[in-house]
Amino acid sequence: MSKEIRENLQKLLVVGISYRKSALDVRGLFSLTSDDQEKILKEAKENALDSMVILSTCNRTEIYAHSSQLDLIIDLFLKYCKGSREDFSNNGYTLFGNECIQHLFRVTSGLDSQIIGDFQIVGQVKDAVHKSEKFGMVNAFQNRLFSFVFQASKKIKNTTEISKGAASVAHAAVQYIKDKVSTLESSNFLLYGTGDIGKDTCENLLKHMNNRSLTLVNRTIEKAEALANKFDIKYETVEKLSQEINKAEVIIVATGAPKPTVTLDHLEKAESCKLILDLSVPRNVDCAIDNLDHVLVITVDELSKHISKSIEQRKACIPDAEKIIQSFIGEFYAWLEVKYLSPVIVALKENLHKVQQKELDYHKNKLSDEELKKVEHITNNIVNKIARACINHLKDHHKQQSSPMETLNMIFKDMDS
């Protein structure tokens, strides 16, 4: 790989924090709302950055960029999250070049998820890329990289069993309820929040409920109504949240807000025992509720401990998934080689055809039309053979970190005389 490509690769970086090093409460400090992400993208563009993708999920918050301005990117990250520089220093990470590429492929393919094979992540990464594209913040380098990343993720999902079985956050929540709630058919359920995780949880929960005693509440009533109509269940406005919490024995919170949406005030009149599953990061259920004797609060991190044996089966698929990833990374590197050699190859062919045309022009008055056609055909074959040999020569020199243009100038230095 040439020095030029290696230097450009090293500009690819990710700044982030994830469940691997950080507990839920710490990750919550670095979670970025959609508005925060847009502000970062706008400010990054104002500072002449041309490529940045921001991913913020319950397991991680990461900023992928193609830039040499690492300090600026970290400053923007810390400006819009609640975590301090010291918090990031102790819990965060920064990866460059090949390490960043390997990490991105593993994240998008579900290999780095808290629940292995959770393919909800690929949709979240695509959404992040689309958001950046709207701000003109995905350059050609990053665009092609994400294209290979999504192809690899699709192939892993279609050709391995790494996503087989129920093991997403939504599935884990429903599995926990099935295991712990003996009165599943008679209990009243409340789902607060109808985003992606809320929708998945709703659909999976209803598969195990015959009485349909599930009520939806969402800050935007139209979203709750649409989901309720789809499954023929009840919904209420957010103004009636306290009443619905009081009626429900099982409460699932998936609101994705930057601060708690279920507080002590909501439970002050509650008398019966309640199970609350908080699927949000940061936590959307006030930590003070944990101390109530009649309430059990289960968080995302705790849910991950209750995944079924399908996780072990998924782990067995990791080697096959890794092989697919390495194959697509190889294709990306091959694309880089072609990208950087393309101008040189074009110049090579142009020079060869100039030499050919110069010689044909010199001899055309001495040849008949028929003879000229034969000579032109022969010289075309010669030019193509020389081009192929030179291109292979250029690629070899490129891999040895020689300058392609220097090699090209050397090849044609004597032809100008």
Question: DSSP readout, 154-188?
Answer: HHHHHHS-TT-SS-SHHHHHHHHHHHH-TTTTT--
Domain end: 294, 309, 324, which one? 309
Residue 317 within a domain:
no
Are 186 and 156 within one domain? no
**For the segment 176-198, what is each residue's pLDDT rounded down to a tens digit?**
888 888 887 788 999 999 988 89
Are 156 and 185 within one domain? no
Residue 330 within a domain:
no
Q: What's the pLDDT score for residue 342? A: 64
For residues 281 and 304, the answer to whether their CB atoms sit within 8 Å is no
Structure token digits, residue 268: 């002050």
Rounded distance between C-alpha atoms, residue 394 and residue 392, angstroms: 5
SS3 260: coil
Mean pLDDT of 115-136: 92
Residue 391 within a domain:
yes
Are 124 and 35 within one domain? yes
The count of domains in the chain is: 3
Are 153 and 194 within one domain? no
Residue 89 within a domain:
yes
Structure token digits, residue 56: 């913020």
Residue 178 within a domain:
yes
Mean pLDDT of 31-49: 95
Q: What percent of the chain has pLDDT over 70?
A: 90
Please tell me the pTM assigned to this model.
Answer: 0.66
The closest alpha carbon to 16, from 111, 88, 97, belongs to 88
Mean pLDDT of 265-292: 89
Structure token digits, residue 351: 């020079």
Q: Which of 58, 81, 202, 390 is catalytic?
A: 58
Domain end: 274, 309, 344, which one? 309
Residue 221 within a domain:
yes
Are 403 and 366 within one domain? yes
Are 278 and 221 within one domain? yes
Are 346 and 265 within one domain? no
Q: Is the pLDDT of residue 257 over 70?
A: yes
Rounded distance between C-alpha atoms, residue 242 and residue 292, angstroms: 16
Q: Is the pLDDT of residue 415 over 80?
A: no
Q: Mean pLDDT over all residues of the chain?
A: 87
Residue 320 within a domain:
no
Secondary-structure percent of the chain, ordered helix, strand, coil, rounded to 5: 60, 10, 30
Are 341 and 303 within one domain? no
Q: What's the pLDDT score for residue 134? A: 96
Mean pLDDT of 339-355: 74
Are 159 and 185 within one domain? no
Residue where the block lists tokens 């129920």: 166
Give the up-direction half-sphere exposure of residue 35: CA atoms within 13 A in the CB hemisphere.
3
Rounded distance between C-alpha atoms, residue 278 and residue 30, angstroms: 18
Contacts with 185 (C-beta within 8 Å, 6 or more apart), sequence order: 209, 210, 211
Q: What's the pLDDT score for residue 369? A: 84
Q: What's the pLDDT score for residue 414? A: 47
CATH code of the domain in which 113 resides: 3.30.460.30
Are 300 and 224 within one domain? yes
Q: Residue 317 catalytic?
A: no
Domain end: 164, 186, 205, which one? 164
Are 201 and 302 within one domain? yes
Rounded distance between C-alpha atoms, residue 38 and residue 15, angstroms: 17
Choose the weakest-confidence range: 121-125, 151-155, 328-332, 354-358: 354-358
Q: Is the pLDDT of residue 397 over 80?
A: no
Rounded distance between C-alpha atoms, residue 135 and residue 131, angstroms: 7
Are 242 and 201 within one domain? yes
State the DSSP code for 207: T
Domain of residue 121, residue span = 3-164
